[in-house]
Structure 1
Amino acid sequence: MSTTAVPLLQADGLRKTYQSGGGRLVAVDHLSFALHAGGALGIVGESGSGKTTTARMLVGLEQPDEGRILLQGAPLAARTRGRAARLARAKAVQIVFQDPYLSLDARISIGATLAGVLRLHGCTDATVRAERVRELLAQVGLGEREAAALPRHLSGGQRQRAAIARALAVEPAVLVLDEAVSALDVSVQAQVLNLLCDIRRETGIGLVFVSHDLAVVRYVCDEALVMYRGRTVEHRPVADLLADPGHPYTRLLLASVPHPGWDPDAIGRRRRDLAAEPAAR
């Protein structure tokens, strides 16, 4: 993967604050990264690290106070006005959430949901829509039975596959996955991760994988960006970061994974010690 080409997706100095009591809480503090075509970036951190706020800014659900987001070198509008602008933004970057119910209408079958997305984005021919729905379902390992089902009649893994199909329906350049497998059983996680790897290889789509789980990021991603208190503390190839983590927070994340000799009390003490240190390192 070339590092000299214009990045597919670029975040440049993103900063986001929220009102908190009498002051401002800094959720993301001057975050920058570049994702190249066909690449996969893991954004890693625990609750409160700023990773989900970052994901929401990438897809336009939150607006940065400072900084900009570029797609293939062109700035994405911070605010979209009008139907055409909103559809263009949705086509550029799509998101898959932890809970598929956030993107699947409980009252509508999976097939009808996909057809509705295609119709919204200009596919007016019913025959073409039906064929494209079949293609999308096949791409994520679902078939006619799942197409006719309501979301509540599917398993968690099937619902997440349907949510991925919905995101892929508009053929986005970038797919952001916000803890998209964390609620699934381990065996189902592996199936969905394999699916994402296949889709990335077949389509060249860029993936931004937001997770607290370094093992999941290792499976899917080329690079990992570790966030702590809204800031980037490490950004390196995944293999290098896992083999020799340079920041205490990254080492804490790795140590927090249960393993032989694991001592939760010791992990808790290390966490409290790190929290007591100044934010800037």
Structure 2
Amino acid sequence: MTTDPTPALLEVSGLRKAYRTGGTEVVAVDDLSFTLRPGGALGIVGESGSGKTTTARMLIGLERPDAGRILVQGRPLADSVRGKTARLARAKAVQIVFQDPYLSLDARMGIGATIDGVLRLHGSRDPAARAARVRELLAQVGLGDREAAALPRHLSGGQRQRAAIARALAVEPAVLVLDEAVSALDVSVQAQVLNLLADIRRDTGIGLVFVSHDLAVVRYVCDEALVMYRGRTLEHRPVAELLAEPRDPYTRLLLASVPRPGWDPDSISSRRRALDPKRLPA
């Protein structure tokens, strides 16, 4: 057996997170492990309640795991971050793009000013250098001077998501987590943003963790897919292999749920009910 000599960009091992609701423990993520190589793209797939968003929140530090560890470029991601230096270091390790770009864009500031503020926060003191970097980042995501001056509400949904990606890239993170980042966009705009992410990955070597309920989206942009159900991993394999021969009934159900010519949502509901009711929600 040979081992990959390339050091892991992101290494997650034994991750667990549980919540207490009304005296009952609900396990959101249970014994999750995966590795992301430089320039790699992993899709974490599942329905609502599968644990994929909780995983994303732990990767960026919004949730603290109960057990397990997260390493970025071989360094542990601290459970708690205190002080400006530590916060900035963590921001450079992992950034996130949310489904709703308003979560990361200041509604009162132009897009260019928002990105400029990120650069200043991370130590860029030369206004001319910052202005050049803002133009470079916006050009990288297909935006220009008009969009740089605009408030978020004056942009389309696709333009706002591109701006959110530019803001995340401003700190040059090692890993970019995308939490349902294209699910609110129409199909044509989805394709544009996915093409953009593929180009950025190719040009920068950044690692992508793509959180989605949609296997069609994951197939487009990722090398590997990890299917989660109720906090646990059901399958983790190369995307092409997983889609060609899904092993788990739940994976097959997710794949059958992707709309295509002749797709019948009623038949999907019937297949869901036919599976073990202890494994799948009604």
Which residue of 2 is the match for residue 184 of structure 1?
185
**SS at the partner of 2:61?**
coil
Q: Distance in 2 between matches of 1:108 and 1:260?
A: 44
CA change 1:275–1:182 in 2 (3 A) is: farther
Shift of 1:46: 0.8
Q: Aligned runs of 1:163-242 on 2, under 5 Å?
A: 163-242=164-243
**SS at the partner of 1:167?**
helix
Q: Distance in 2 between matches of 1:118 and 1:175?
A: 17
1:106 aligned partner, one-letter code: A
**C-alpha deviations, 1:138-185, integer Å up to 9, x for none?**
110100000000000000000000000000000000000000000001
**C-alpha deviations, 1:10-60, integer Å up to 9, x for none?**
111000011111111100011000000000000000111000000010011
- The alignment covers a number of residue pairs equal to 278
Which residue of 1 is the match for residue 102 of structure 2?
101
Give the TM-score, by structure 2 length.
0.96
Q: Does 1:128 align with 2:144?
A: no
Q: Distance in 2 between matches of 1:253 and 1:278?
A: 14
Which residue of 2 is the match for residue 90 of structure 1?
91
Q: Distance in 2 between matches of 1:55 and 1:38?
A: 18
CA change 1:274–1:84 in 2 (3 A) is: farther
Which residue of 2 is the match for residue 50 of structure 1?
51
| Matched-pair contact (CA < 8 Å) for 1:3–1:36 | no
**SS at the partner of 1:195?**
helix
2:97 aligned partner, one-letter code: V
Shift of 1:205: 0.3
- Which residues of structure 1 form unaligned runs of 5+? none
Q: Distance in 1 between matches of 2:229 and 2:275?
A: 11
Q: Distance in 2 between matches of 1:252 and 1:174?
A: 30
**SS at the partner of 1:37?**
coil
- Backbone CA RMSD of aligned residues: 1.3
**C-alpha deviations, 1:72-104, integer Å up to 9, x for none?**
222111111111101100110000000000000
Shift of 1:6: 2.0
Query: Which has the higher mean CA deviation after the structures are superposed, 66-75 or 266-275?
Result: 266-275
4+ residue runs over 6 A deviation: none
| Matched-pair contact (CA < 8 Å) for 1:252–1:271 | yes
Q: Distance in 2 between matches of 1:200 and 1:218?
A: 15
**SS at the partner of 1:276?**
coil
Which residue of 2 is the match for residue 274 of structure 1?
275
Q: Distance in 1 between matches of 2:108 and 2:276?
A: 45
Which residue of 2 is the match for residue 74 of structure 1?
75
Q: Distance in 1 between matches of 2:277 and 2:261?
A: 28
Q: Distance in 2 between matches of 1:122 and 1:184?
A: 34
Which residue of 1 is the match for residue 33 of structure 2?
32
CA change 1:80–1:275 in 2 (3 A) is: farther
Which residue of 2 is the match for residue 246 of structure 1?
247
Q: Distance in 1 between matches of 2:40 and 2:119?
A: 26
1:270 aligned partner, one-letter code: R
1:223 aligned partner, one-letter code: E
Shift of 1:232: 0.4
Give the share of equivalent positions with the same residue, in percent.
Answer: 79
